Amino acid sequence: MLRSLVVAALLGASSVAAVKCTRSSHCPEDSPCCSTYGECGVGAYCLGGCDPTMSFSLDSCVPAPVCEDRKMKMNSLDSIVDIGKYLGDSSKADWVAQGEPVVFQNNVLLTMPKDSVGTLLSSTVYMWYGNVKARFKTSRGAGVITAFILFSDVKDEIDYEFVGTELGDAQTNYYFQGITNYQNSENITLSDTFANFHDYEIRWTPDKIEWWVDGKLGRTLQKSDTWNATSKNFDFPQTPSRVQLSLWPGGKEGNAEGTVAWAGGPIDWDAPDIQKSGYYFATFSDVEIQCYNAKSGPGTNSGTSYWYKDAAGTNDTIVDGDKRHTIASLMATGEDMDKGKKEDKKKDSKDDKDSKDSKDKDKGDDDDDEPATIPGGSSGAPSNDHGDDSSSGSGSDSSNTPSGNPDGDSDDTEPADTTNCQTNSFNQDCASSDSSKSSSSSDDGKGSNAGTRNGASALAIIIAGGALFWL
């Protein structure tokens, strides 16, 4: 069965309640795309994270951009686009943001203001095997989770996760199609992850996974050791995946008891970092993707996009081809990629006005029937929530939270302006219009606000209400 996500209400969500989706209960035709969070919609639901095995059909999800070698210096917001403005063109951005990244002293901070669900960055390109390396400092504190993972649309997963009370450990883990097995986890010991930058690397091939820290091998998993005699399958991550960086509240009130225990206890929303900076934060410096570049499948990237030809969702069902991977609007789907396309801009102003008036009237008549367009996650991360892991996690007491200062640059962090943020879901409208120009230096100590710097509109705030969970 699929693993559960953190269960929490989406406060402030719109009245549009997205339909749930599972492998046994697919999305309906009018909201055909099943998001990472197990809900149905159109638009962004059909892009990164769209699960073809739970959607209306395999073609409901938009094909995914193939792997590209990328060196991404995390010193500005220029390559980060808000999820409400991303239409699948991976050439225009490196990352899709949900939450509130900011720039501080030539690094990108993933932030988690009080009572929020944190921040998630997802790469716009996918990896079908290869190496990915990230240099960063984690956050800290009971209930605070920093993560660097690979996550596929059918929920194959390779993890680094960091519990904020255990700053001397990097937890490594893997999952096949979301199947929970907490015996898969192993720790790598290292120096204080909040005070120090470390280089974390995942080396992934069709035969094995290696986790490296600071140039030293910390763990190896052989595919041959993952054979499942019951299902007659290797429970080994094997499908194209996005790189995801996240900061999320494992200790948030309302989360499963096991999740809170694994996360080190309930989160303190009045901790020193919140009082001083306005948010918990993790500091990211660099991310590099190196593709596997196989000459024949699995692991190729010779085309422009990946898609699934069978609901089994294994590496032999992946097609590396040349299908389009962009949509015209947030009303489009994989089967109607031009739906909502803007009319010819060459029309005269009268025609444009008449068209707008007509659309506004139609919108007023049909508001109640419009599908959700922007998936929201209440957990702050799509990775496994450890909700059934009450005994095998860290379970550290919150009193173990380190009290020492971070290194010099973190100590002077000041909060971004989050006055207008709705920080209880991954659909936030925090930035004013003049915040669209991000600064790459930010050496004045005030983080530059990403928010909806690309102008997320009301359309980008349509999300599902209620609790999110996998059945």
Q: Looking at 39, 161, 166, 201, which residue is catalytic?
A: 161
- Burial class of residue 250 (count of CB atoms within 10 Å of its CB; 0-12, 13-18, 19+): buried
133: helix, coil or strand?
strand
Give the count of beta carbons closer than 10 Å to the beta carbon of residue 166.
19
CA distances from 284 to 74, 109, 199, 290, 410 (A): 6, 6, 10, 18, 12
Whether 90 and 48 have beta carbons less than 8 Å apart is answered as no
Tokens of 119: 């921040």
Answer yes or no: 161 catalytic.
Answer: yes
Instruction: Give which of 256, 267, 313 is closest to 58, Cα–Cα.
Output: 313
CA distances from 384 to 246, 417, 435 (A): 12, 31, 34
365: helix, coil or strand?
helix
Answer yes or no: 157 catalytic.
Answer: yes
Whether 427 and 54 have beta carbons less than 8 Å apart is answered as no
63 residue type, one letter: P
CA distances from 86 to 43, 290, 352 (A): 9, 23, 24
Instruction: Give which of 41, 62, 127 is closest to 307, Cα–Cα.
Output: 62
- Beta-bridge partner residues of 137: 283
Contacts of 10 (CB under 8 A, 6+ apart): 376, 378, 424, 425, 463, 464, 465, 466, 467, 468
Q: Looking at 29, 68, 100, 157, which residue is catalytic?
A: 157
User: Where do we find the tokens 């808000």?
Assistant: 82
Cα angle: 60, vertex 62, 67; to 5 degrees: 145
407: helix, coil or strand?
coil
Instruction: Give which of 198, 105, 210, 101 is closest to 442, Cα–Cα.
Output: 105
Torsion over CA: 14, 19, 21, 27 (sign): negative
Whether 103 and 442 have beta carbons less than 8 Å apart is answered as yes
Torsional class of 195: left (φ above 0), alpha (ψ -120 to 50), beta (otherwise): alpha
- Catalytic residue positions, numbered: 157, 161
